[in-house]
Amino acid sequence: MNSFRQPERDKIFLDKARDIADRLLPAWNTPTGIPYNVINLSQGRAHNPGWTGGESILADSGTEQLEFIALSQRTGDPKYQQKVENVITFLNKTFPDDGLLPIYINPHSGTTGYSPITFGAMGDSFYEYLLKVWVQGNKTSAVKLYRDMWEKSMKGLLSLIRKSTPSSFTYICEKSGGSLTDKMDELACFAPGMLALGSAGYSPDDSQKFMSLAEELAWTCYNFYQSTPTKLAGENYFFHSGQDMSVGTSWNILRPETVESLFYLWRLTGNKTYQDWGWNIFQAFEKNSRIESGYVGLKDVNSGVKDNMMQSFFLAETLKYLYLFFSPSSIISLNEWVFNTEAHPLRIVTRDEGGVVKNLNEKKQKPFPRIGGRKEGRTG
């Protein structure tokens, strides 16, 4: 018989979360508050990797806000929220009109210099969290800054949108200086879901415009999968005039971004087409990646040669979103929960003006919904 009562079990996890966060906090001790991206958790020494030239990475510096705000809410200690919100406040001082930031930022001066702008690797979740902190705070005036910055970034995203020929696949370019590159990472396939989630905050006309863009991009991302012999997507794709898309880096490491976006579109539109697309992707994983002990990635989506690794995000994200495709929408309702970038649900908590932190553990919380057996099967 388990001798721990429920509150004591919960406290164990909260204490551990606080311990880890306290060990991470020295990373934010920079002149700008923009964190170093590597830290020794035992000794508290923080630095940036050599391969960035000593710069901090945009996504690494802007993807702690949801978690640290939630930790301040649960402990009643504002220091975690303050550290991560100081980053956004600093970046907002010089935030460009198009809301697009290069992926490298100097933590001492805050300057961005010359580095790529992308919604793929090293940029992606910065933009995701601008929207999701607004959702997490229940869209109040206390978190309006995040929504305003996100809407600027979406104006910038529109400037990167191009269409392929001959099939008119909509895609997001990358940008270096004044030049665009017709390349899109599978990682950037989180964007359709982000756009769908954020579309509700616009006027009706703009809301429809961004939802339509989300659906167009989702079709492109689904075709990242459908265009290969294994029906699994490569790591990135190039677009050439008259040739539509071609796979670049051809491995597949079980990434979740496309099924994540299809999940949001399924939940927000009710269109069963997205459920069917998710099912097809799951079947491709079953056919190509399933082995006796789990799932593995592919070294090459063209040949189907397997690697020997199952990434942790396959369980945390890819399979979770696929499971939720076929669960009632009341399971982890998007009206009550916001997913962090690793698909862990955090409760939506109304933020007061001034961002006052309250200890949520002082009042009774609704229990986390149990995820039971599948109640809704695949249709079609």
The single residue of 67, 186, 235, 317 carrying the catalytic annotation is 235
| Annotated catalytic residue 235 | yes
Q: Prior bond to 166 cis, omega within 30? A: yes
Number of Cβ within 10 Å of residue 372's Cβ equals 9
DSSP string, 249-266: S--B----HHHHHHHHHH
Inter-residue contact 218 to 192 (CB < 8 Å): yes
Inter-residue contact 287 to 271 (CB < 8 Å): no
DSSP string, 197-211: HHGGGS-HHHHHHHH
Q: 3-state DSSP call for residue 221?
A: helix
Inter-residue contact 78 to 357 (CB < 8 Å): yes
Separation between Cα atoms, residue 173 and residue 241, nearest integer Å:
14
Residue 363: C-alpha distances to residues 4, 74, 201, 248 (Å): 21, 10, 30, 52
Inter-residue contact 148 to 134 (CB < 8 Å): no
Separation between Cα atoms, residue 194 and residue 84, nearest integer Å:
21
Separation between Cα atoms, residue 174 and residue 185, nearest integer Å:
9
Tokens for 273?
């087409």
DSSP string, 263-287: HHHHHHH--HHHHHHHHHHHHHHHH
* Residues with active-site annotation: 235
